[in-house]
Amino acid sequence: MDRNDILASLVSMSNELGDPRNDFVILGEGNTSARLGEDTFAVKASGTSLCSIHAGQFVEVSFEGVLALLDREDAGDEDVKTALEAARVDSASPLRPSVETVLHASLLSLPGVNYVGHTHPTAVNSILCSVNWREAVSGRMFPDEIVSCGIAPVVVEYVDPGLPLARELHRRVRDFMDGVGTPPRVVLMQNHGMIALGSSPTDVISITAMSVKAARVLAGTQAFGGPHFLSEQNVLRIHSRPDELYRMKQIRGQA
């Protein structure tokens, strides 16, 4: 796909994630991004809405310029704003990259991750804003959840959005990869929302939709004694079955 095709697919993915019927976000909530090439990616501009966003409301920024912020321990809000504006490919653009641009750069640097969608679905946030949220997201409940969302999410306690969150997430995701060997498909952030990491736009939408379904199922289990999580052996079996791997690739648009 050339740059314009990627941008067009990012727009349609964003519009789908922002569709009010899905209840994944409202108003200016959420942000999305896609890798455009080796050196740059496109990220939602600040102050735009996913439901109506168009190609002219994404900003192209350099990985190098954005990722350098991860090492700047002393960077304050103003430093981040300046660095993000300096990382724009078109320095004359009036658009400002999203406050979560560093987080997107970090996730798009992972192998096989080409599109990222961050949303605040009501069903998912009902769990992430609860007292017992950590226990509630500590297991997998059904096979299709594993096929779409992977064996486990990366889970992050509440951190100030922007650079502190990007830095914490960068660390947690690399810890996950050290243990599991592959990037996560879902990140869950306490009192905030979720992130879907996908190889394709369809992948990001499927991960988000399945996370919402799982959240609704989990809420439903509360009427019948709480969730019965699959055993670790069950989870790993689904994750490695040849027929499930084939299904996984179909869903992700790779087969």
User: For residues 119 and 252, which CB has a smaller minimum distance to Zn ion in the complex?
Assistant: 119
Cβ 105 to Zn ion, closest distance in Å?
16
DSSP SS3 for 37: coil
- DSSP-assigned beta bridge partners for residue 31: 118
Contacts of 23 (CB under 8 A, 6+ apart): 121, 122, 123, 212
Identify residues 76-135 at the interface with Zn ion (CB under 5 A): none
User: For residues 35 and 118, which CB has a smaller minimum distance to Zn ion in the complex?
Assistant: 118
Compute φ and ψ for 60, nearest 5 degrees. -90, 125
Q: Which helix (H) or strand (E) holds 122?
A: helix 122-128
User: For residues 97 and 193, which CB has a smaller minimum distance to Zn ion in the complex?
Assistant: 193
Cβ 192 to Zn ion, closest distance in Å?
6
Cβ 80 to Zn ion, closest distance in Å?
16
Give me the 42-81 binding string for Zn ion, x by CB under 5 A, dash otherwise: ----------------------------------------
DSSP SS3 for 180: helix
Cβ 25 to Zn ion, closest distance in Å?
9
Cβ 116 to Zn ion, closest distance in Å?
12
* Size of the residue set binding Zn ion (CB under 5 A): 1
Give me the 182-211 binding string for Zn ion, x by CB under 5 A, dash otherwise: -----------x------------------
Q: Can you give the C-alpha Rg of the chain in angstroms?
A: 18
DSSP SS3 for 6: helix
Cβ 22 to Zn ion, closest distance in Å?
16
User: For residues 167 and 239, which CB has a smaller minimum distance to Zn ion in the complex?
Assistant: 167
Strand 40-44 and strand 31-35: pairing? Answer: antiparallel
Contacts of 171 (CB under 8 A, 6+ apart): none
User: For residues 142 and 158, which CB has a smaller minimum distance to Zn ion in the complex?
Assistant: 158
* Burial environment of residue 151 by CB neighbours within 10 A (0 to 12, 13 to 18, 19 or more): middle
The pair of structure tokens assigned to 221 is 């289990």
Q: Which residue is nearest to Zn ion (CB)?
A: 193
Q: Which helix (H) or strand (E) holds 163?
A: helix 163-180
User: For residues 183 and 193, which CB has a smaller minimum distance to Zn ion in the complex?
Assistant: 193
DSSP SS3 for 32: strand
- Rounded CA-CA distance 48/54 in Å is 9
Cβ 195 to Zn ion, closest distance in Å?
9
User: For residues 61 and 128, which CB has a smaller minimum distance to Zn ion in the complex?
Assistant: 128
The residues binding Zn ion (CB under 5 A) are: 193
